[in-house]
A and B are shown apart, each in its own frame.
Chain A
Amino acid sequence: MKGYPCYATSRSRQRGSVLVICMVMAALGTIGVAAWFSLLDARSHQVEATFNALERRVALKNSRALAYQAIYTKHLHSNASLAADTVYTLPGGKGKATVRAFSVVPLKSNTSGPPSRNGATPGSSNTTAVALDLSDGVSETRWTFQLRNTHPALAGDLLTLHSPVTPASKAPLVSGSLRVKGRAVFMDAILADVSSGIKADEFILPNSIVGSTTFSTTADVATLPLNYPLYLRTTGDIGGTAAYKGELEVVSFSANPQNSYEARMAIPSTATLNGSSKQGNSSGTKNRTSTTDESAVLAMIASSPPQTVADELSKQSNLSSTILIAAIQKNNPVLSDSQLLQIFDAQTTVPNDALTELIAKLDETFLTPAIDAGYTDFNYRNGTQFNTNGNGKVKIWLDRSEITQIVVTGVTELTLFGQSNASRASAAATFPPLLVLVDNRGGGVLSKIQFRHVNQRPFVLVIVAAPNAPVVAKASFSAKSAFPEWRAIIDLQNTGLDFDAAQVSGARIIGGIRGNHRVLVSSGTVTLEREFKNITALMPLLSRDAWIEAARN
């Protein structure tokens, strides 16, 4: 009796326990299934969010592409700033770029920029910093686009060859012993260009070339061209459209008022010369007239032997222009170079008209070393700056600080006088930069350039010919030094140079060369080295390239 209720109670509890266990297990199972379901649901949402994230990334990249497109199309090359914020939008939230207003024309900016972040264009550069807001479809991110500019030579591109002015020519753009102690940039290269002797520490080519060749550094070590692309860059407009395909237009004001050498020359201190008319300038007076009757002296010049004329006239130190010119023009027989110098050396000052005649008569190419030295000193004493003889021969003396900008037209031969000794070179290194524009677009075929002595003055030489009449001029060096150093940045538009360094062991150009025609070395070696000293002084004079560097703030 006593046990039954106990048994019954226990049995009943056992059945209840089973139910509880079942319910607990069911509850746990439900929780587990619910957790699993929740997990899978979360996973599904995550995947959905992945696609949303992808769409936002694409939208952001679209916005960035839109910003690049807007700046390339409207701003980077143009002569305009941006007065008001401008919004560029793609439909459906696929992209949106807001370009904030900026006040400085990109190609005119002289504000030194922060260091390059991508390394593609090392060295100094100026920048116009443009703020942009790029949308990813949900929110916006602030970016800064640096619209940079510099002359390629100052950025380490010591040889930059744009798309050639004669694309149908099979002749190589470069040949001979040309050494580039920096980067050689070809914007449109073929095999012949890079296999004709050039050696450069770095090469960069935008296009692949067919055929095999070996690229060598200046240390004769085999190298490969850089494997990153050449950033899209422009010198401005050409033919009314933006130049982004390697075209070169750095001279014409009408095409590029923001970046042309003509624009830089449009200041009152610029001297102008025409090779077809006699003209010269020095520290002397324009001319010197006589207050007395000079007929007896003129008769003596006409009738006396040359040495007698030289001896008599050199006793005077203030001869008139008439007398001096008569001595130069005496032709029966003519006075020798030394006899002429004897007369002119005796003058306290030499009037410009007589000096112009003298310089036109003496050709440095044929002077003996002694006479050449005397002639050099004579010109230095007289402050000779520039001279044309009327037959297209133009001579410019770089050791005159009075001249800073010269435009010469109609030039057939150009002689550039540097500094003949170390002290003059040291003095010239402190002079303001000299910009010379040889403009033959209106006529004149430049056939010869002479680089005489050495040059330490900051110097920019720009030569331009008509695009339908490109020329290759001979360029020779003569100096006492076996390795004359010419500090020069040379821009060649529709003009090539054929260097002849036979008279020296090897010529060095401290600066660089940019052009769209041939750069040859037919004799000797020409080495391009980087200009480090005068970047700040040179930059305002130079026509630049512009490109974009973008960075998220």
Chain B
Amino acid sequence: MKPYRQTRTGGYTLIEALVASSILLIGISAAASLSLSFITQEEITERSVKAFNYLDNATSLYQAGVDKSKIAGLLPAEPVVTALTFMDRTINASNLGSLPSVLISVTYTSTGATNTSAASLWTGGKKDTTRTVSVEVVRTARTLNGPLPRVDTFD
């Protein structure tokens, strides 16, 4: 009676080991995949924050009265940002009528991939993937500024 039980304590069968290994591999693969997704998400998040900060600064400069053509030059370079655009529009304000406004947009690359495949793709996403965020801004000139006729004439 007892000897049979003694033989079962000698080790695991190959089948058991294979099943266990398979389960472990699946787990490791899932963890790796999850890690990839998480890292990708984190990368997108980080880049988005940078782009939002860039947009925030651009908007602040514009609303402070800086000429929109000079804003990109005033801001420190931000590698994730591929474009900063200002689109002139009008917006209707109640009791005031139509006011000039500007749609300020920042386009940024949401992935750090440098190639479409291979090792550099490990953080996920296509390398050309971009996102654009925009805000519509109204500003009022609060300082005396030119050009005035005399300046036009002599300067």
Interface contact B153-A168, CB-CB below 8 Å: yes
Q: A11-B9, A44-B41, A190-B150 are in contact. Are A55 and B135 (CB under 8 A)?
A: yes
Q: How far is the CB of B59 from chain A (nearest CB, A)?
A: 6
Set of chain B residues within 8 Å of A170, measured between Cβ atoms: 154
Q: Is residue B76 contacting chain A, with contact meaning CB distance below 8 A?
A: no
Interface contact A87-B95, CB-CB below 8 Å: yes
Interface contact B138-A229, CB-CB below 8 Å: no
Q: Is residue A532 contacting chain B, with contact meaning CB distance below 8 A?
A: no
Set of chain A residues within 8 Å of B96, measured between Cβ atoms: 66, 69-70, 73, 88
Interface contact B148-A246, CB-CB below 8 Å: yes
Tell me, in angstroms, the Cα distance from A496 to B145 when the chains sit together. 24
Q: Is residue B49 contacting chain A, with contact meaning CB distance below 8 A?
A: yes
Q: Is residue A407 contacting chain B, with contact meaning CB distance below 8 A?
A: no
Set of chain B residues within 8 Å of A50, measured between Cβ atoms: 48-49, 52
Chain A 8-40 interface 0/1 with B at a Cβ cutoff of 8 Å (1 = within): 100100000000000000000100010011001
Interface contact B144-A47, CB-CB below 8 Å: no
Interface contact B150-A188, CB-CB below 8 Å: yes
Residue among B2, B59, B154 with max Cβ neighbours from chain A (10 Å)? B154
- Residues of B1-42 contacting chain A, CB below 8 A: 2, 5-6, 9, 31, 34, 38, 41-42
Closest-by-CB residue of B relative to A11 is: B9
Count of chain A to chain B residue pairs whose CB atoms are closer than 8 Å in the complex: 149
Q: Which of A11, A54, A167 contacts B55 (CB under 8 A)? A: A54
Tell me, in angstroms, the Cα distance from A86 to B93 when the chains sit together. 12
Interface contact A88-B52, CB-CB below 8 Å: no
Set of chain B residues within 8 Å of A87, measured between Cβ atoms: 94-95
Tell me, in angstroms, the Cα distance from A92 to B91 when the chains sit together. 10
Q: Which of B34, B56, B59, B135 contacts A33 (CB under 8 A)? A: B34
Chain A 523-553 interface 0/1 with B at a Cβ cutoff of 8 Å (1 = within): 0000000000000000000000000100000
Contact-residue size bin, chain A (C-beta under 8 Å from the other chain):
35 or more
Q: Is residue A163 contacting chain B, with contact meaning CB distance below 8 A?
A: yes
Interface contact A188-B143, CB-CB below 8 Å: no
Closest-by-CB residue of B relative to A50 is: B52
Interface contact B2-A90, CB-CB below 8 Å: no
Chain A 43-86 interface 0/1 with B at a Cβ cutoff of 8 Å (1 = within): 11001001100110110011001101110110000000000001
Interface contact B149-A167, CB-CB below 8 Å: yes
Set of chain B residues within 8 Å of A502, measured between Cβ atoms: none
Q: A88-B94, A190-B150 are in contact. Are A58 and B137 (CB under 8 A)?
A: yes
Q: A66-B96, A188-B150 are in contact. Are A229 and B144 (CB under 8 A)?
A: yes
Q: A4-B2, A88-B93 are in contact. Are A206 and B144 (CB under 8 A)?
A: yes
Interface contact A94-B136, CB-CB below 8 Å: yes
Q: Is residue B69 contacting chain A, with contact meaning CB distance below 8 A?
A: no
Interface contact B148-A65, CB-CB below 8 Å: no
Q: How far is the CB of A494 from chain B (nearest CB, A)?
A: 15
Known: A40-B38, A40-B45, A187-B144. 14 other contacts (CB 8 A): A47-B45, A57-B59, A65-B140, A66-B140, A87-B95, A168-B153, A170-B154, A188-B149, A188-B150, A188-B151, A190-B154, A190-B155, A206-B146, A244-B144
Q: Show 26 residue pairs from A and B whose CB-CB distance is below 8 angstroms, ordered by the A residue.
A: A8-B5, A33-B31, A37-B34, A43-B45, A44-B45, A47-B52, A50-B52, A54-B135, A61-B59, A61-B139, A66-B99, A66-B140, A69-B96, A70-B95, A70-B96, A86-B95, A88-B93, A95-B93, A187-B148, A190-B154, A206-B145, A209-B155, A210-B155, A229-B145, A232-B142, A548-B142
Pick the 3 closest A-B CB pairs, nearest first.
Answer: A229-B143, A68-B140, A167-B150
Chain B interfacial positions (CB closer than 8 Å to A): 2, 5-6, 9, 31, 34, 38, 41-42, 45, 48-49, 52, 55-56, 59-60, 63, 65, 91-96, 99, 133, 135-151, 153-155
